[in-house]
Amino acid sequence: MLFKDVIGHKEIKNKLIKSVKNNRISHAQLFLGPEGNGNFQLALAYAQFINCLNQGDNDSCGSCSSCLKHKNKQHPDLHFFYPTAICNEIKTLPSSRKLIKPWVEFLKTKDYFILNDWMSYIGAGERFSIINKTDSQDIIKIISLKNFEAKFKVIIIWWPETMNSSCSNKILKALEEPNPKTLFLLVGHNTDKLLPTIVSRVQIIKTNLLKDSDVIQGLIDKEKIPDNLAKSLALTANGNLSKAFDLIKDPDSEQQFMDIFHKWMRLCYTVDFLSLEKWVEEIYKLGRVVQKSFLEYGLRIFRECIIYNYSNSNINRLNKSEEVFNEKFSKFIHGGNIVEIVAVFEHTHTAILRNANGKIAFMNLSLKICNLIKLKP
């Protein structure tokens, strides 16, 4: 991937290019930022630029033998490691090496993606995914071998937060005893879920959510959609490119969440336990992936309520139906309950990620919301 094909992140691109030109390349770097905002794509472009045989001032040449191999994800010195689970392809002991063929095919299907997209692609459903001990053993073996042809051997670890303890400890040892011709590019989203000793041994390249202007231009350039549609999608996506591209294919998904959320808040306010039990059953049937996305949607609505109440409502990032709901609902969300609401939502979100029972998690959350939205400012 070329830097020019990565949407936004102009300052970070310049910083990465400068580090290569000045021969100040850190042996281990963590591209840290929200999921779906282009961290992985930055790492890909950086890896290609480092080993390009005819580097330009601001980008890879795109035509040398190294660039062409990077484009096809077939460079012998470019290695990927990522979360895996039992799936259609592998019934026992999954690993990145065993799933490399579907991984390369997956990278060709979407420019921007999230972990759920990868799990769905390999048919892993809602199984718990990890980077395991076998992966770390493969990494140790790779770094022990000589480079095939490139100046640097590049190991990209996507979602390092999913490394189990055995894998994390082996990777830590590799980072502590760096090979001068091997680069580790970790692409993560939350340092709290990484070993502190790993975090301390990497250079952090921190990225933020993309600007609306970058998302809009990216959608227009790649999808050839009208300006007004691109602006609407960018507003809803809130800097998440993966979400923006998904909304083009499924524009009604946000409205479905709005309807579910509206019904839920009404039941919580009226403390209709019987109906709440039925609602929990409905959300449970949607599955863990949708539950996770729904909780993220709910947090966004609560955040918009606070902005509406305490700031300029003109900066709210809501579509028309959400605006109508927000005008009535925002009076129940204030400084007296927002901190606790966010805390219980994040707790439930973590529980769902860890395969907690969805029925119990959402019923507990609902009971807490029943009390919290009744609190006075």
292-309 residue pLDDT tens: 889 999 999 999 899 888
Mark whether 96 and 239 lie in a shared domain: no
Would residue 130 count as lying in a domain?
A: yes
Mark whether 175 and 301 lie in a shared domain: no
Average pLDDT on 238-250 reads 86
With 90 as the cut, is the pLDDT of residue 9 above it?
yes
Mark whether 157 and 228 lie in a shared domain: no
**Cβ pair 99, 23 in contact under 8 A:** no
Last residue of a domain, one of 172, 206, 240: 206
With 70 as the cut, is the pLDDT of residue 58 above it?
yes
Would residue 53 count as lying in a domain?
A: yes
Domain range for 35: 3-206
Would residue 377 count as lying in a domain?
A: no
Tell me the pTM: 0.84
Alpha-carbon gap, residue 91 to 302, rounded angstroms: 41
Three-class DSSP category at 25: coil
- Banded pLDDT at 313 (limits 50, 70, 90): low
Mark whether 140 and 43 lie in a shared domain: yes
CATH for 146: 3.40.50.300
Mark whether 25 and 50 lie in a shared domain: yes
CATH for 295: 1.20.272
- Percent of the residues in the chain that have a pLDDT greater than 70, as a whole number: 99
Show the tokens assigned to 331. 């009076």
**Cβ pair 137, 167 in contact under 8 A:** no
Mark whether 42 and 154 lie in a shared domain: yes
With 90 as the cut, is the pLDDT of residue 322 above it?
no
Element (H, E) at 305: helix 288-310
pLDDT digits (tens, 9 = 90+) for 17-50: 999 999 999 999 999 999 889 999 999 999 999 9
- Percent of the residues in the chain that have a pLDDT greater than 90, as a whole number: 71
What is the secondary structure of 144-198 as a DSSP string?
Answer: HSPPSSSSSEEEEEE-GGGB-HHHHHHHHHHHHS--TTEEEEEEES-GGGS-HHH
Last residue of a domain, one of 182, 206, 230: 206
Last residue of a domain, one of 198, 226, 250: 250
pLDDT digits (tens, 9 = 90+) for 181-194: 999 999 999 999 89
Mark whether 359 and 257 lie in a shared domain: yes
Mark whether 196 and 182 lie in a shared domain: yes
Alpha-carbon gap, residue 189 to 232, rounded angstroms: 26
Mark whether 155 and 44 lie in a shared domain: yes
Would residue 263 count as lying in a domain?
A: yes
Mark whether 196 and 125 lie in a shared domain: yes
Mark whether 197 and 344 lie in a shared domain: no
Please tell me the total count of domains within the chain.
3
Mark whether 336 and 239 lie in a shared domain: no
